[in-house]
A = this chain, B = another copy of it.
Amino acid sequence: MLETIDLGKRLPKAEAKAALARLELRLADLQRRARDAGLPVLVVFEGWSAAGKGTLISRLIQPLDPRGFQVHSIGEPNADERRRPFLWRFWNHTPARGRMAIFDRSWYRRVLVERLAEGLGMGEVRQAFAEIRDFERKLADDGAVLIKFFLHIDRREQRRRLKRLARTASLGWRVTAADWRQQRRYPAWVAAVDQMLESTDSDFAPWTVVEAHDERFAAVKVLQTCARAIEAGLRPRRAAPPARRPAEVREEPPAPDLDASVLARVDLASAIGPRAYKRQREALQARMRELEHALYAQRVPLVVVFEGWDAAGKGGAIRRLTATLDPRGYQVVPVAAPNDLEKDHHWLWRFWIHMPKTGHITIFDRSWYGRVLVERVEGFCSQAEWRRAYREINSMEQHLTRFGAVLVKFWLHIDADEQLRRFRERRRTPAKRWKLSDEDWRNREKWDTYRSAVDEMLFRTSTTFAPWTIVESNQKEFARIKVLRTVVSAVEARLARA
């Protein structure tokens, strides 16, 4: 999930200062209201060494009444703690109703520091994930608000900070051998962090990754996330919606400046020349045809998901992908709004029934991700429903890949200007006019809201077993080659393993 994070986010000083001043007032007020309501709040800070946990915790507690919170620094377990189950000391530290417990490192030590230092086996790690989920669910069921931050900096930034700290006479002691070890083993840590995020992200205790290169940006994001989570916790919980339900609360509009977007990093100038395009396309399509047979022979199912902006070129990419395939081996499933029969089932049902059998290919032109995109943005499902959907999706995809399926997911990305150009072209071209509807224009107006839904989707559903591929699609030829190449590589990797 970390690879979807844009670390380039910055906030101008004046803007940050004003935002922090407002947030501090808001948090002080929320703390009082949480106390009166008897709402327990847990805030977890995890992150890279030198990412600034200490500074951010200071920022967070500054506006708070010190009688109402406690900061727990979680280091090595002491002799006494070592002699109990690892969750014991955290149960001890759970806050009373109306109080706030802030954890500088936490129960996640087990699956980060201890996992890497003691070389815990996968069985033990999975066990720990299950126990952590259970612990957090118990607290959430009891009414607690859980806020979990992972402060993210890249390897280079960490090296720079550790060196600078080590050089500073008064702070040099703070850089330990363990910090340098983490810097050396950064890639192993990334793998462990990714697995931790995907295994313990939930609707009742979601992770927030904080882009911590810019301290101001990080501070605003931390305070704002806390404020929103506590506000949500103070709102009276709604009864579960009836079977046929109207749209529920819309979420508050996102603060666009804070939404770090992986999309911002995408190089939309990516392009390919016409001759190279033809040559590569033909080679990849020939390979796809071979691979279709190999999949069949080895009984491996393949699922390809296409999502992307309106007019990003999904249809064209799918046509190029399937051009050489034997139609008996694949099926393209176009996904629109659910029909009445589909509405009468669990929302995942209509996708489940189209999952390919072994050796077959299903291509979804739009997919179950509509739940966290259009249904979320347009309020076709409740907030509780789309929040729950991330985990529902991840567990479905895990079930598929464990069964042995290859799962490839594409987000076809274009910018707003390119979309406008394409919409106008569609309007001009009689043969394409049917593709453009009023709804497309309406969606376009909500570009920013959609973008932040896309960002959250890419973050919460980029998993080790089913990663997203973002396709730079301002030039269609480039996009089509990338799609073909990605599918070919994924299938080849899977078949090599079979």
Q: Which residues of B contact A347 (CB under 8 A)?
A: 142
Query: CB distance B243 to A143 under 8 Å?
Result: yes
Contact with B along A328-341 (1 / 0, CB 8 A): 00000000000001
Residues of B within 8 A of A37 (CB): 242-243
- In angstroms, Cα B219 to Cα A377, docked, is 49
CA distance A243 to B40 in the complex (A): 9
Q: In chain A, residues 57-103, which have Cβ atoms closer than 8 Å to a Cβ of chain B?
A: 80, 83-88, 91-92, 94, 96-98
Partner of A345, one of B39, B94, B388: B94
CA distance A84 to B84 in the complex (A): 43
In the complex, are the beta carbons of B97 and A345 less than 8 A apart?
yes
Cα of A80 to Cα of B84 in the assembled complex, Å: 50
Bound Cα distance A237, B345 (Å): 20
Contact of A237 among B240, B244, B399, B403 (CB under 8 A): B240
Residue of B nearest to A353 (CB): B92
Does B403 contact A357, Cβ atoms closer than 8 Å?
A: no
Q: Is A157 an interface residue (CB 8 A)?
A: no
Q: Interface segment, A133-141, A276-284, A428-436?
A: A133-141
Are B85 and A134 in contact, CB atoms less than 8 angstroms apart?
A: no
Contact with B along A225-247 (1 / 0, CB 8 A): 00000000000111111111000
Is A349 in the interface zone, CB < 8 Å from B?
yes
> Are B399 and A96 in contact, CB atoms less than 8 angstroms apart?
no
Q: Is the CB of A359 within 8 A of B83?
A: yes
A288 in the interface (beta carbon within 8 A): no
Give residues of chain A (94-148) contacting chain B, Cβ–Cβ below 8 Å. 94, 96-98, 123, 127, 130-131, 134, 138-139, 141-144
Residue of chain B at shortest CB distance from A395: B134
A83 touching B358 by the CB < 8 A rule?
A: yes
Q: Are A243 and B346 in contact (CB under 8 A)?
A: no
How far is A87 from B237 in the complex, measured between Cα atoms in Å?
32
Chain B min CB distance to A230 (Å) = 13
**CA A400 to CA B84, docked complex, whole Å:** 9
**CB–CB B243/A97 < 8 A:** yes
Which of A85, A97, A405 has the most C-beta atoms of chain B within 10 angstroms of its own C-beta? A85
Instruction: Identify which of B94, B141, B348, B399 contacts A131 (C-beta below 8 A).
Output: B399
- Bound together, the chains give a CA A131 to CA B394 distance in angstroms of 12
Known A94-B346, A348-B138, A349-B91; judge A355-B84 contact (CB<8 A): yes
Q: Is B392 within 8 A of A138, CB to CB?
A: yes
Q: Are B97 and A244 in contact (CB under 8 A)?
A: yes
A320 to chain B: which residues have CB within 8 Å? none
Q: Which residues from B are CB-within-8-Å of A451? A: none
CB distance from A133 to the nearest CB of B (A): 10
How far is A341 from B96 in the complex, measured between Cα atoms in Å?
Answer: 8
Q: Is A173 located at the chain interface by the 8 A CB criterion?
A: no
CB <8 Å contact, B399 and A87: yes
Chain B residues with CB under 8 Å of A400's CB are 85
Pick the contact of A344 from B85, B96, B357 — CB < 8 Å?
B96
Shortest Cβ-Cβ A-B pairs, 6 listed:
A38-B243, A83-B357, A91-B352, A96-B344, A85-B403, A83-B358
A-B contact pairs, 13 of them (CB 8 A): A38-B344, A83-B359, A85-B402, A86-B403, A96-B341, A98-B243, A130-B130, A131-B395, A131-B399, A138-B346, A138-B392, A143-B240, A238-B239
